[in-house]
Amino acid sequence: MNTLSIKTDNKKRHFLPKKTNNGIFKMGFYPKYMPILAKNKDLGFSFKILDELEAGLVLSGQEVRSAKQGNISLKGAFVSIKNGRAWLKNMHITAYDKASHDLKNYNPDRDRELLLHQKELQYLGAKTQAEGLTIMPISVYTTRRLVKVKVALVKGKKKFDKRADIKKREIDRRIAQKLKGNYRR
């Protein structure tokens, strides 16, 4: 698929073929930048990130609209692999308030399937079983009109590792303050 890129408003945008209702392709206007819908902020402190992958996310229409409004939480979310498929568990997407169908049967914490290549699934499955690693989502974002999730292969940090990270961050902050000239002591 060929893309034609132009520069407007200091943001690079791409023209991509977009299919209309009658099946005819026309040039669509999609931003190249990716708005981040949700981040797992606790991940960097509690876990050491070893490898990152991008995966597609299977959502219903109302979930996509709700996620694009920012009604999404990754707190406590993780990925498990069962029967050759990856499932994102405990990700909370609040029900879309303007949905036309019945919201009583909607489960905001349901398991959602991740779209990964077979080789990526085998790689992640082997790493989690052999080395005891965990797969966790880092962030959820949009590319063009698609909702994607960035997942990471992580290893839990011990308490002394967390303390060492805090100490290193504090030392770096003091060095930066001294170089800037705002240090008082």
By the 8 A CB rule, do 45 and 79 touch? Answer: no
For residue range 98-112, list pLDDT tens digits in order: 777 767 778 888 899
pLDDT value for 114? 92
Residue 1: CB atoms within 10 A of its CB come to: 5
The pTM for the full model equals 0.69
Contact 154, 40 (CB under 8 A): no
Is the pLDDT at 3 greater than 70, yes or no? Answer: no
Mean pLDDT of the 163-167 span:
88
**Which tens digits make up the pLDDT trace of 33-52?**
568 888 888 877 788 889 89
Position 104 scores a pLDDT of 72
What is the rounded CA–CA span in Å between residue 185 and residue 183? 7
What's the CATH number of domain 34-177, 3.40.640.10, 3.20.20.140, 2.40.280.10, 2.60.40.680?
Answer: 2.40.280.10
**3-state DSSP assignment of residue 172:** helix
Please, which residues have CB within 8 angstroms of residue 62's CB and are 6 or more apart in sequence? Answer: 95, 96, 99, 101, 106
What mean pLDDT, rounded, does the chain reach? 80
Q: Is 74 exposed, middle or buried (0-12, 13-18, 19+ CB in 10 A)?
A: buried
pLDDT, residue 185, reads: 58
Residues 111, 60, 124, 32, CA torsion sign: negative
The values of phi and psi at residue 126, to 5°, are -65, -40
Domain boundaries, the chain: 1-33, 34-177
